[in-house]
C-alpha cells in the first residue's frame, strides 16, 4: 500500500466531519448547495467503503489494516482498524445514509434546521464507531453519533417527537455514563484501552484481576445493550423510532446495529476461546437476552396497530436475533448473522421510508379505527356493497409500486424465500444445526441454540402475520382511498435499498463467502490484532 | 483518602440515581449531572492515586515516571467532562422545548391522573 490509498481509512470520518462543519456555516436558504455537498460526500464515502472492503477481502485470511492517527507509535497514539467487518458496515451505513438523504430532499430537509449537517455528523459517528480500534475512542464516536441522533430524532419538532426525544436522550445519557464506568474499570485493570493490546493482555491476566475486568466488561456491555435495545433495556426504542421523521428513522436502523457491532467485537476480542478462564464470558446472558428480546419484539409487532411502531418492532426483533446469534458463539452462525444484519438493516430502512408514503393521504387514526371496527365485527357490510362493480378497480401504478416494495420488505424481514432474509436465516439455522458442515456426524445442539432456532422461526411467522395484516389494511382494504402523490426522489431510495437486498439474494454466494470469511477472521483463535503494536 | 473518595462517589452516584427516577425534568437533569460527577471521580480513581508521591520533577533530576499518577485517566476525565457538558446543554434545550410544547415539566408531558 502506497500513496494516498493508505490514508483511505480516515476518509469516512474526516469527510463527513468537514462537510458537516461547512454545512453548519452555510445559510439555511442554500439547501440546494448543501444537498449537493451531502450527496457528494456520501457517494465518496460509499466508494471508500467499497475500496476498503475490497482491500480487506483481498488481504488474506485475517487482514487487519491499521491506521495510526498522526503516526504516533501505537502505545501512545490512537489507531483505526479496518477489517472486513468494519468495511462491510461502512458500506451499509453509506447506503442507508444515501437513501435517507435522497428521501429527505423531497421535503423533510425543509422541516427543521440543519438536517444535512446533522446527517453528516451522524454518519461520521457511525463510521468512526465502526473503524476505531480503541475503547475510549469508541466512546467519543458513540457520543458523536448520539448527539447527532438527538438532533435528528427531534427533526421536524412536534409534541410527540419532543416527548419521545426526552426519554431517548435521558436513557442514552445514563447509558453513556455506564459506558464510562465500564471503560475506566477495564483501564484500571488492564492498563490499556487499545483493543489489540487488550486482547493480547487478557490471557495473561492474573486471576485476582479477573473479577474487576469482567465487571467492567459487563457494565460496558450494558451500555451497548441499551443501544442495541435488548429487553428489558429497549423500551425507549419504539416510541422514539416511531416518532422520528422517516429519513432519521431509516438511518437509526443502522444505529441500533452499532450496539450489536460493539458487543460482537468486544465479546470475540476480549472473551474469545483463547482468553483462558474468561472465555465465553457473558455469552449465556447474550443468548438469553437475545431470545427474550426477539419474543418481546414479536409480541410488540403483533400487538401494534400503526406502521411506524411495527417497523420499530422489527428493529427489536432484528437486534434480538443478532444478539442471540453472537451469544451462540459459533463461526457459521456469526456468518449468517452478519448477512442478516445487512439485509435487515437495509429492509428496515426501506420500510421506515415506505411507511410515510403509505400513510400519506390517509386520515390520522384510521388504523386504530379499522382495528376497532374489525374487533367489534363492524364495517363488513359496507365492503360487501362495494363488490358489485364488476371486475374491480384498476390499481394505480403508484399503489402497485408501493405494494411491491412493501411485499419485498415483508419477505426480507419475515425471512421468507426468495429474498435475502431467507438466506440469512437459513444460514443461521444451518450454522446452529451443522456447525461443522453437512455429514460430519451427529451434533449436540445446546438448549440455548434450540431456543434460538425456535424463536427465529416463530419471530419470522409473527413478522409475516403482522406485515400481512398491515399490508391488507393499508393497500387493499379501502378501495376508494386517495392515491398518494409521490415524487420519484421519494420512491427511488426505497427501490435502491430493496434492489440491494435483491442483489444480495442474486449474488448470495460471493456475499456469503465474504460474511463467512469475516466471521472466521473474528473467531480465529490467533487473531492477528497485534499490529496495533505497529508492524506496518 | 480512599474512604473519602469512595464515599463521595457513592453519595453523588446514589443521589444521582435517586433523582433520575423522579418525575420532573429538572430533577432528571440534576440527577444526570450528579451521576456524571460521580463517574468522573470514578474514572479518576481508576488511575490509582498515589498519596504523598513526588511531583514529576524531583530536585536536581528528572524524576521517575513510576512515581507520579497515570495521566491517561485524567485526559479521559477531561474528555468526559467536555462531552458531558455538551450533552447536558443539549438536553436542557430539549427540556425547554418540551416545557414549551406540553406546558409542564413532567417527563411524560403531563402527570398521570
Q: Tell me the helix, strand and coil percentages in chain A, rounded to 5.
A: 75, 0, 20
Residues in chain B closer than 8 A to A149 (CB atoms)? none
In this model, does residue A276 exceed pLDDT 70?
no
Record: contact B98-A140, CB cut-off 8 A: no
Q: What is the pLDDT of residues A285-324, one digit of tens each?
A: 888 899 999 999 999 999 887 888 899 999 999 999 999 9
**Which candidate from A154, A163, A173 shows the least CB-CB separation from B87?**
A173
Query: Do A293 and A231 form a contact (C-beta atoms < 8 A)?
Result: yes
Residues in chain B closer than 8 A to A163 (CB atoms)? 98, 102, 108-109
In this model, does residue A233 exceed pLDDT 70?
yes
The reported pLDDT for the residue numbered A201 is: 83
Residues in chain A closer than 8 A to B90 (CB atoms)? 147, 150, 169
Closest by Cα among A357, A340, A364, A476 to A413: A340
Peptide bond into A232 cis (omega under 30): yes
Query: Do A214 and A281 form a contact (C-beta atoms < 8 A)?
Result: yes
Q: What is the pLDDT of residues A413-458, one digit of tens each?
A: 888 888 888 999 888 888 888 776 666 666 677 787 888 888 888 9
Q: How far apart are CA A101 and CA A114, in angstroms?
A: 13
The reported pLDDT for the residue numbered A265 is: 87
Record: contact B73-A174, CB cut-off 8 A: no
**Which candidate from A140, A147, A180 shows the least CB-CB separation from B43?**
A180
Domain ranges of chain A: 282-366+396-524
**Which candidate from B73, B90, B102 shows the least CB-CB separation from A163?**
B102
In this model, does residue A393 exceed pLDDT 50?
yes
CB-facing half-sphere around the CA of A211: CA atoms within 13 A: 1
In this model, does residue A532 exceed pLDDT 80?
no
Closest by Cα among A305, A308, A300 to A245: A308
Record: contact A170-B107, CB cut-off 8 A: yes
Residue B36 burial (C-beta neighbours within 10 Å; 0-12, 13-18, 19+): buried
The reported pLDDT for the residue numbered A382 is: 45
> What angle separates helix A397-414 from helix A447-471, to the nearest 10 degrees?
170
The reported pLDDT for the residue numbered A531 is: 43
Tell me, yes or no, if B36 comes closer than 8 A to chain A by beta carbon: yes
Query: Do A494 and A353 form a contact (C-beta atoms < 8 A)?
Result: yes
- Between A530-534, B20-24, B63-67, the lowest mean confidence (pLDDT) is in A530-534
Mean pLDDT, all residues of chain A: 82
Q: B2-49+69-102 sits in which CATH class?
A: mainly alpha
Q: What is the pLDDT of residues B82-91, one digit of tens each?
A: 988 888 898 8
Record: contact A154-B80, CB cut-off 8 A: no
Q: How far apart are CA A471 and CA A473, in angstroms?
A: 5
Query: Do A46 and A94 form a contact (C-beta atoms < 8 A)?
Result: yes
Per the model's pLDDT, the better-predicted residue between A369 and A340 turns out to be A340
The reported pLDDT for the residue numbered A437 is: 63
Domain ranges of chain B: 2-49+69-102
Q: What is the pLDDT of residues A106-161, one digit of tens each?
A: 877 777 778 888 999 999 999 999 998 888 889 999 999 998 998 888 887 778 88
The reported pLDDT for the residue numbered B98 is: 85
Per the model's pLDDT, the better-predicted residue between A138 and A368 turns out to be A138
Q: CA of A188, closest CA in chain B: separation in Å?
A: 5
In this model, does residue A534 exceed pLDDT 50?
no
- Between A394-403, A412-421, B16-25, the lowest mean confidence (pLDDT) is in A394-403
In this model, does residue A477 exceed pLDDT 90?
no
Per the model's pLDDT, the better-predicted residue between A389 and A215 turns out to be A215
Q: Which residues of A504-528 are buried (b: 16+ CB within 10 A; e: fewer)?
A: bbeebeebbebbbbbbbbbbbeebe
Q: What is the pLDDT of residues A176-215, one digit of tens each?
A: 999 999 999 998 888 888 888 888 888 888 888 888 888 8
**Percent of all residues in chain A with a pLDDT value above 90, rounded to a whole number:** 22
> If you average pLDDT over residues B12-41, what whole number do you get?
91
The reported pLDDT for the residue numbered B14 is: 94
Query: Phi, psi at residue B108, to the nearest 5°?
Result: -95, 15
For chain B, the residue count is 113
The reported pLDDT for the residue numbered A292 is: 92
CA A181, A184, A189, A191: dihedral to nearest 10 degrees? 170
Tell me, yes or no, if B34 comes closer than 8 A to chain A by beta carbon: no
Per the model's pLDDT, the better-predicted residue between A397 and A185 turns out to be A185
What kind and span of H or E run contains A66? strand A65-68
The reported pLDDT for the residue numbered A195 is: 84
The reported pLDDT for the residue numbered A64 is: 77
The reported pLDDT for the residue numbered A158 is: 79
Residue carrying the nine cell digits 448547495: A33
> What angle separates helix A283-303 from helix A246-270, to the nearest 10 degrees?
160
The C-alpha angle A218, B15, B108, rounded to 5 degrees, equals: 85
- Between A315-324, A473-482, A508-517, A520-529, the lowest mean confidence (pLDDT) is in A520-529
Amino acid at each position: 500500500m502506497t500513496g494516498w490509498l493508505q490514508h483511505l481509512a480516515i476518509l469516512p470520518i474526516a469527510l463527513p466531519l468537514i462537510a458537516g462543519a461547512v454545512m453548519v456555516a452555510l445559510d439555511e436558504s442554500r439547501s440546494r448547495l448543501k444537498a449537493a455537498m451531502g450527496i457528494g460526500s456520501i457517494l465518496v464515502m460509499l466508494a471508500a467503503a467499497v475500496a476498503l472492503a475490497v482491500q480487506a477481502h483481498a488481504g488474506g485470511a485475517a487482514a487487519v489494516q491499521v491506521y495510526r492517527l498522526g503516526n504516533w507509535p501505537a502505545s501512545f497514539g490512537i489507531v483505526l482498524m479496518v477489517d472486513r467487518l468494519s468495511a462491510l458496515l461502512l458500506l451499509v451505513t453509506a447506503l442507508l445514509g444515501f437513501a435517507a438523504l435522497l428521501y429527505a430532499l423531497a421535503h423533510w430537509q425543509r422541516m427543521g434546521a440543519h438536517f444535512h449537517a446533522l446527517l453528516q455528523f451522524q454518519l461520521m459517528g457511525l463510521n468512526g464507531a465502526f473503524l476505531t480500534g480503541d475503547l475510549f475512542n469508541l466512546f467519543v464516536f458513540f457520543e458523536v453519533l448520539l448527539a447527532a441522533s438527538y438532533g435528528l430524532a427531534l427533526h421536524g419538532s412536534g409534541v410527540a417527537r419532543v416527548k419521545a426525544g426526552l426519554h431517548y436522550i435521558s436513557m442514552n445519557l445514563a447509558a453513556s455514563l455506564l459506558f464510562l464506568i465500564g471503560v475506566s474499570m477495564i483501564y484500571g485493570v488492564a492498563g490499556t484501552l487499545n483493543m489489540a493490546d487488550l486482547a493480547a493482555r487478557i490471557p495473561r491476566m492474573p486471576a485476582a484481576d479477573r473479577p474487576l475486568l469482567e465487571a467492567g466488561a459487563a457494565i460496558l456491555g450494558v451500555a451497548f445493550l441499551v443501544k442495541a435495545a435488548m429487553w428489558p433495556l429497549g423500551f425507549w426504542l419504539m416510541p422514539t423510532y416511531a416518532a422520528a421523521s422517516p429519513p432519521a428513522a431509516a438511518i437509526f436502523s443502522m444505529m441500533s446495529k452499532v450496539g450489536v457491532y460493539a458487543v460482537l467485537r468486544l465479546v470475540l476480542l476480549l472473551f474469545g476461546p483463547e482468553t483462558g478462564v474468561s472465555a465465553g464470558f457473558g455469552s449465556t446472558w447474550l443468548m438469553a437476552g437475545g431470545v427474550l428480546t426477539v419474543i418481546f419484539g414479536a409480541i410488540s409487532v403483533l400487538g401494534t396497530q400503526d406502521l411506524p411502531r411495527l417497523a420499530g418492532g422489527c428493529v427489536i426483533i432484528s437486534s434480538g436475533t443478532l444478539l442471540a446469534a453472537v451469544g451462540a458463539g459459533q463461526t457459521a452462525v456469526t456468518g449468517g448473522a452478519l448477512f442478516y444484519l445487512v439485509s435487515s438493516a437495509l429492509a428496515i430502512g426501506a420500510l421506515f421510508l415506505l411507511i410515510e408514503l403509505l400513510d400519506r393521504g390517509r386520515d390520522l387514526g384510521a388504523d386504530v379505527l379499522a382495528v376497532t371496527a374489525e374487533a367489534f365485527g363492524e364495517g363488513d357490510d359496507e365492503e360487501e356493497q362495494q363488490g358489485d362493480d364488476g371486475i374491480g378497480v384498476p390499481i394505480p401504478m403508484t399503489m402497485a409500486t408501493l405494494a411491491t416494495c412493501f411485499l419485498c420488505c415483508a419477505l426480507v424481514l419475515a425471512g421468507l424465500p426468495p429474498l435475502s432474509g431467507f438466506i440469512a436465516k437459513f444460514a443461521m439455522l444451518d450454522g446452529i444445526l451443522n456447525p461443522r458442515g453437512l455429514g460430519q456426524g451427529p451434533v449436540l445442539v445446546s438448549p440455548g441454540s434450540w431456543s434460538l432456532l425456535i424463536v427465529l422461526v416463530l419471530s419470522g411467522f409473527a413478522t409475516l402475520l403482522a406485515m400481512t395484516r398491515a399490508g391488507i389494511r393499508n393497500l387493499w382494504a379501502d378501495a376508494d382511498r386517495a392515491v398518494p402523490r409521490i415524487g420519484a426522489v421519494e420512491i427511488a431510495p426505497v427501490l435502491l435499498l430493496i434492489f440491494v437486498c435483491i442483489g444480495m439474494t442474486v449474488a448470495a454466494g460471493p456475499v456469503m463467502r465474504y460474511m463467512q470469511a469475516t466471521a472466521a477472521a473474528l473467531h480465529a483463535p490467533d487473531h492477528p490484532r497485534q499490529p496495533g503494536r505497529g508492524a506496518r | 483518602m480512599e474512604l473519602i473518595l469512595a464515599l463521595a462517589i457513592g453519595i453523588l452516584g446514589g443521589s444521582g440515581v435517586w433523582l433520575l427516577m423522579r418525575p420532573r425534568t429538572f430533577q432528571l437533569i440534576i440527577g444526570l449531572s450528579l451521576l456524571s460527577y460521580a463517574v468522573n471521580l470514578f474514572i479518576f480513581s481508576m488511575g490509582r492515586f498515589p498519596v504523598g508521591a513526588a511531583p514529576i520533577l524531583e530536585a536536581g533530576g528528572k524524576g521517575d515516571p513510576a512515581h507520579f499518577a497515570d495521566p491517561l485517566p485524567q485526559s479521559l476525565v477531561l474528555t468526559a467532562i467536555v462531552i458531558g457538558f455538551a450533552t447536558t446543554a443539549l438536553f436542557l434545550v430539549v427540556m425547554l422545548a418540551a416545557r414549551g410544547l406540553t406546558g409542564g415539566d413532567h417527563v411524560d408531558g403531563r402527570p398521570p391522573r
